[in-house]
Amino acid sequence: MLHIEELSASYGEAKVLTSAGLSVAQGEVATLCGRNGAGKTTLLRCVMGLHPGSGKVSLNGTDLRGRKPFERARLGLGWVPDDRGAYATLTVAESLALPPMRSGWSLEQIYEAFPNLYARRGSMSTKLSGGEQQMLALARALRMGSRVLLCDEPTEGLSPLLVQRVGEILRQAKQQGIAVLLVEQNLHFAAEVADSYYLLASGRVQQTSPADKDLLTYLGV
């Protein structure tokens, strides 16, 4: 579903990604691991078209090179950023009404999956707790009918109960055939939801396993 080949990216003179590549199939959760500063978020931003990079990114066989972020979103890429991306001038209900409705989750499905959002539907998005903002970011992507979710640290700063809820939502999305590329430092959480694992180191990606002792040592777990 999502295929990345020879992806390279820089910040000024600093090379961050060097010929990185990976694939995520329909209904698969793939976790991208690596130390802080390894370039995991940069890789996601390149896929979404938010950071310039060379190489090929394709979605369902469609080459995304040259396409703007909103065009990639319309093709089925969903962006769940680490800063949650809450709209300061919109309520929860307005934020969920904003995405174009295609084959995404209905409002009824969203509110059933995220009861806190229903309770806070009249609140301004930026007045939500961090966990509620994370729920809203996931809900927006699912509401859009995204076929691939790019999730950047979705459990960071969340309570154990909300971490469990994020896991349930990702498993539910997977059952519906949605692919997920997950950047996650919490390997214990990743082990519960992911089907495949990639390690990003020195700008390159290699497929690995969460039980790989070398990987756990490298990440300091």
Mean pLDDT over residues 169-173, rounded?
A: 90
Cβ proximity of 74 and 146 under 8 Å: no
Domain that holds residue 149: 2-218
Largest Cα span, the chain: 48
pTM of the predicted model as reported, rounded to 2 decimal places: 0.86
Beta sheet of 54-59, edge-to-edge order: 14-24, 2-11, 54-59, 62-63
How far is the C-alpha of 138 from the C-alpha of 195, rounded, in Å? 20
How far is the C-alpha of 55 from the C-alpha of 74, rounded, in Å? 21
72 confidence band (pLDDT: 50, 70, 90): very high
What pLDDT is attached to residue 28?
93
Q: Which CATH number belongs to the domain containing residue 123 in this structure?
A: 3.40.50.300
Tens digit of each residue's pLDDT (9 = 90 or more) over 146-160: 899 999 988 887 888
Tens digit of each residue's pLDDT (9 = 90 or more) over 73-88: 989 999 998 876 777 7
What pLDDT is attached to residue 196?
85
| 179-to-75, 140, 144, 176, 211 alpha-carbon distances in Å | 14, 16, 14, 9, 22
What pLDDT is attached to residue 82?
80
CA angle 202, 205, 210 (to 5 degrees): 110
- Cβ neighbours of residue 38 closer than 8 Å, sequence gap 6 or more: 200, 201
What's the total number of domains in the chain? 1
Tens digit of each residue's pLDDT (9 = 90 or more) over 19-45: 899 999 999 999 998 888 889 999 999
What pLDDT is attached to residue 47?
95
